[in-house]
Amino acid sequence: MGGAPGLVLANPPFNLDAKTRQLAVAQGGRRPLLPEIWLQKTLALFGRQQPLALFAPYGLRLNQTQTSARWQKFVRGVYPPIASIVALPKNVYPDILFHSEILLFNLRGLNAHYFVGE
């Protein structure tokens, strides 16, 4: 037994309570995004080659400036390349409207982009 799993499925929380915010700031800086902290922890535990499906808000990869630390981590290869994106409708969950997607890392043979239907 032991070794890396075949695939990590990560559905981190998007919201921060006061205690979680304090821990997240210590880990991720002044504007922490929990899905990014989950991504960093997964890479730290299993390495950059680990297959990973990460549920995340669009803001993890979009709405950044060229000088944003998060943008730079994607551009400079700190984070592995995104193999595929699964776009989720804003109303994927009842009574919740939130932009989200699933980012797939280190998985081969996938289309670049999928849309989840009803």
12-68 tens-digit pLDDT: 877 667 777 777 677 666 666 888 988 999 999 999 999 999 999 999 999 889 998
Structure tokens at 95: 């009574």
Q: Confidence class of residue 96 from pLDDT cuts 50, 70 and 90?
A: confident
Nearest CA among 88, 94, 70, 68 for reference residue 11: 88
Residues 6+ apart with CB under 8 A from 4: 46, 47, 50
| Predicted local distance difference test score (pLDDT) of residue 102 | 96
**pLDDT higher than threshold 80 for residue 1:** no
**Residue listed under structure tokens 């797939």:** 104
Which pairing describes strands 82-88 and 100-105: parallel, antiparallel, or unpaired? Answer: antiparallel
Res 72: pLDDT: 93
CA gap 59, 77 in Å, rounded: 18
β-pairing, 52-57 with 8-10? parallel
